[in-house]
Each structure stands twice: as C-alpha cells, then as structure tokens.
Amino acid sequence: MPQPKTSDALGECRSVAVTCISEVGWHDTDRVLADIRAAGGSSENQWQKTWDADNAAGSASLVEMVMMDGQIRRILVDCGWNEAYMLQRFAETGVKESLERGEIDLLFLSHEHFDHLWGLQAVLRLCPDITICVPATFSDDALAFILGDRRSPTSSPDAPVIRHTGRLLTTAMGVPTPLYPGCIAVAFNLPILLGVTGEQSLYFRLHDRGTVCVTGCCHQTVTALADYAVANIATEETLYGLYGGLHIAPFGPLTAPQEQMITDMARFGFHKIAPNHCTGPSAIAKMIELGYPIESGSNRPSDTVLGNGARVVFE
C-alpha cells in the first residue's frame, strides 16, 4: 500500500505570482571572479574577502501567494547586495511602498551568499521589524550581520546600522517547514561556494495544478530540489512550476554532467519554468532546445530569462 506523503498536512493555495525585483547579482562577472581569485579562490570565506563594492547589484524576488480564502501573503525572497541599487529596484517595482506599509509578511533568505544577503540594510531601512526566515546553517557572521552587530565587507563604514527588531525564524534541515497553508520551506544541508553552508527553497502546492518550486541559487541542484518535492511535497508524480536561479553553468559552457542534469529535468514534467540569475545562457539554450516551457520577459541582453521587473504567474 502506498505510504501517505507528509504533503497531506501541508495544505493548498490558489495561485502564486513571482516578480523578479533583480536577478543581476553583480554588474561585471570578470570583476567578481577577479575578486574571488585575489582572495584565494572560491573555498575562502566570503566574509573575509575584499570585494569591489561598485560592482555590486543583487538578487531578490517578490512572491505573492493567494490563499484558498483569498487572503494574500507576500514573501520577499532574498534582499540583494548593493543597498542603493536595491532601494532603487524596490522603488521601481513597488516593493518599497509594500515594505513601508508592512505588507510584506516575510523576508525569506535562501542562503547567505553576498549577492542575496548583503543588501539587508535596504530592507531594514524600510521595514526594520520584518519577520526573517533563515536556514539553520547560517553562520555566526551572517546572524551577527542580521542583528546589526557587524557590517558586510562592502557596507559603508560610516552609514548608521539599522538593527532588525522583528522575529527571526530558523528552518531545520531536510524537513518540510510549513510557513502558510500550501507554502513550505525546506533547507538543504550542503557546503557551497565561499565558505557558505546550506540553502533553503520554497514549495507551493497549488489547488488543481500541482507544486511550484521557488529558489534563490539552487546550489543543492535542480534535480535535488525537484526530487525532494516529488518525494515529500507533491501529491502528483510531476511538478507544475519552477522559478529562480538554478546555478547551472553561470559563467560558461555546459559540462557533460550539467547537460545531463538538464536533460534529466524532463522527468518532472514542469508546465512552466522561469529561470534567471545564476542559470547560465548555455543552460537556458539547452532547455529551449529540449522544448521546455520557458517563461521569459527581460531587460537583459538575452530575452530568454525572466529579468528585472518581469513577473510570472502560476495559477
């Protein structure tokens, strides 16, 4: 007899819309790679490195979920890197007003990489008491940064630090953590680049549609993300949607294992895929070649990613 999945208790929601506030981690990849090389390579701790602050941009997305009773929950996924750049992007996407009015229910920090976390002061400037959710693997440096007890390596040394006054939630590793009915966080425990450990992702269970996965960088790999959903979240054998950075060949051509992973994605049967950020052009080209249902809309040179200001709706 088939075992009941934990998903039975996770509830459902009606729809999910994701607005790309910014998927541009930095302006010049050669400069960020030079910064990493200069400080000893990608295994060195990001908090101990010197970074070119002028090169910083940042990754952040706004999730708006409509619950079964019609209420809306808004989740800010990550908060970018450069504070001035993020304030501008928040203003250009309407997120500034939402933060000021206290309409964002949660800041969900996928992982502590510089381009997803170090723009936090831009959020706290607009809403210091926002509830923040982090994976349990966040480092002491990252937690001290959230609390306002330390600056990032690219923070201005003179700017006043705004302290976080809201709740700080921690997601345990490897178990579905319900956030709202039909919205679940799962943290994956793995070492990733620059001394960072762990990344968490969001899963939404859409009534009559299926499961939508939302990622920051997806360092755990897209197949690990989707396999987890099939085993623990979804009631269907296939998945409905996918949004976010997939960390596949962000800087160059596909390797053979990366190409195989993209081919392997077919078994999840996604109806709508909106990749951006660290999903490299070669990876997106391969997905298009395989006929995957890619959502685009962009102001980037390539129009094959869901770029800054673009929105995808799963309903």
Residues contributing to the site for Fe ion (CB under 5 A): 25, 59, 113, 115, 217
Rounded Cα distance between 288 and 112, Å, is 30
Whole-number minimum distance, CB 219 to Fe ion, in Å?
6
Whole-number minimum distance, CB 146 to Fe ion, in Å?
17
Rounded Cα distance between 268 and 114, Å, is 31
| Cβ atoms of residues 61 and 95 within 8 Å | no
Whole-number minimum distance, CB 246 to Fe ion, in Å?
11
| Cβ atoms of residues 130 and 123 within 8 Å | yes
**Burial zone of 224 (CB within 10 Å; 0-12 exposed, 13-18 middle, 19+ buried):** middle
Rounded Cα distance between 198 and 136, Å, is 8
Whole-number minimum distance, CB 6 to Fe ion, in Å?
27
Rounded Cα distance between 270 and 92, Å, is 30
Rounded Cα distance between 272 and 82, Å, is 30
Q: Which is nearer to Fe ion, 250 or 269 (CB)?
A: 250
- According to DSSP, the β-strands at 60-67 and 13-22 are antiparallel
Q: Which is nearer to Fe ion, 95 or 109 (CB)?
A: 109
Whole-number minimum distance, CB 266 to Fe ion, in Å?
25
Residue nearest to Fe ion (CB): 217
Q: Which is nearer to Fe ion, 75 or 117 (CB)?
A: 117
Q: Which is nearer to Fe ion, 105 or 115 (CB)?
A: 115
Q: Which is nearer to Fe ion, 59 or 121 (CB)?
A: 59
Whole-number minimum distance, CB 14 to Fe ion, in Å?
30
In the structure encoding, which two tokens stand for residue 204, read together?
A: 């939404």
Q: Which is nearer to Fe ion, 7 or 82 (CB)?
A: 82
Helical H segments across the chain, by residue range:
29-38, 83-93, 95-100, 114-117, 120-126, 140-147, 222-232, 256-264, 281-289
Whole-number minimum distance, CB 110 to Fe ion, in Å?
8
Angle at 121 between CA 85 and CA 80, to 5 degrees: 45
In the structure encoding, which two tokens stand for residue 196, read together?
A: 């960072």
| Cβ atoms of residues 286 and 275 within 8 Å | no
